Chain A
């Protein structure tokens, strides 16, 4: 029977029938719809508004930070440290697996409670397992003269802010 149809419509083997053509168009449309809904679902799962603490915070006057002063900001998880030539800010998030480190004032070092990493006051690793030093964060001063630290901006290690 199909042979007769082939004869009537003068089809050759290479030429797909109209039904085959529409079949593959339909299949492609379904595949496109599935792929599209996959992309849309992934986008749906990505939150657009986050109610997380702001990355910028005020850290007081530069004059507060004489050499050796370390202040920890709990909400933004950062240290603001006074150095001989100015002020710098360090992330308090351990570079190993993200626990919050703590400044030990009697030992003058920063220690992580989770796996025992230790850092000096410039963020350098003095004891593993942390693989990288603590990132330095951007420090600026606003019009009123108070320090602004931005935890989302990482600056090169050792770049001390001079007021």
Chain B
């Protein structure tokens, strides 16, 4: 009885003008409606409507790109939550870290989640690159997406690096001193790059604010745009490519 009423409620909702204005595809399970579910959704439409079943197997891609994307999602969510307690100023930044770790409810959990997801994201992005390399998926027609992927790896490393300064502890300070001195060694522009990056000659409050803006706004936006292109390009280039031998030797035909 109750199930019946839930069902009728669902049907009433499904037929309502509001629901019909949001979800345009029909309800019957047809190929057209299945396609429309993907086509008409902003978030799904970068994906192909149909994929080969074998591309979903774990050993086809080891799901490394997906793991990296999942890490990015976790990092965005935990990062936004951490921002509610964090001031990018000296010495408040360090005090906020202490507060987050020891006082704020679940603060230590969120910080640790952010940190571990960051480590995993760099690691899985790197493994993803190796996987693509060894499966020879960088070759035409995927050569453009390989380059996009390399830029994404650089953005990931820069995100990891800019986040390193934010706790404003000894490790952060010297890590960034060393890193920006490496940038200084670049020919011709090195000195200028370091000056612009730090907003001065030494690692100071200016540097903290700049790294904060890069970490929380500039680089995540760059990541979002490039990631969208990257995933859309996978569809455009004919889906994910698995082991290269699958391409070259077609399935042996059964001889009766």
Contact = CB atoms under 8 A, between A and B. Distances in A.
Given A45-B196, A46-B195, A98 B178 contact: yes
Interface residues of A, number: 11
B174 interface: yes
A47 B202 CA distance: 13
Interface string B178-217: 1011100000000000011001111010100000000000
A93 to B, nearest CB: 9
B35 interface: no
B177 A52 contact: no
Contacts of B178: 97-99, 114
B202 A99 contact: no
Nearest to B201: A52
Contacts of B199: 45, 47
Contacts of B182: 97
A47 B177 contact: no
B214 to A, nearest CB: 11
Contacts of B206: 47, 50
A158 B199 CA distance: 33
Interface residues of B, number: 14
A149 to B, nearest CB: 17
Interface of A: 42, 45-47, 50-52, 97-99, 114
B196 A98 contact: no
B195 A52 contact: no
Contacts of B202: 52
B201 A97 contact: no
A2 B90 CA distance: 68
A85 B149 CA distance: 61
A98 B201 CA distance: 11
A54 B82 CA distance: 36
A47 B200 CA distance: 7
Contacts, number: 29
Contacts of A42: 196
6 contacts: A42-B196, A45-B199, A52-B204, A97-B178, A98-B178, A98-B181
B177 A97 contact: yes
A97 B182 CA distance: 7
Interface of B: 174, 177-178, 180-182, 195-196, 199-202, 204, 206
Secondary structure class of chain A's binding surface, majority of residues = loop
Contacts of A50: 200-201, 206
A99 B196 contact: no
Nearest to A113: B174
Closest 4 CB pairs of A and B: A98-B181, A97-B178, A97-B181, A50-B200
B50 to A, nearest CB: 42
B90 to A, nearest CB: 11
A86 B45 CA distance: 76
Contact of A99 (B174, B195, B204): B174
A98 B204 contact: no
Nearest to A98: B181
B177 A99 contact: yes
A148 B200 CA distance: 24
A41 to B, nearest CB: 11
Contacts of A99: 174, 177-178
Nearest to A42: B196
Contacts of B180: 98
Most chain B CB within 10 A, of A46, A52, A97, A99, is at: A97
Contact of A52 (B181, B196, B200): B200
Contacts of A52: 200-202, 204
B177 A46 contact: no
B217 to A, nearest CB: 14
B169 to A, nearest CB: 15
B94 to A, nearest CB: 19
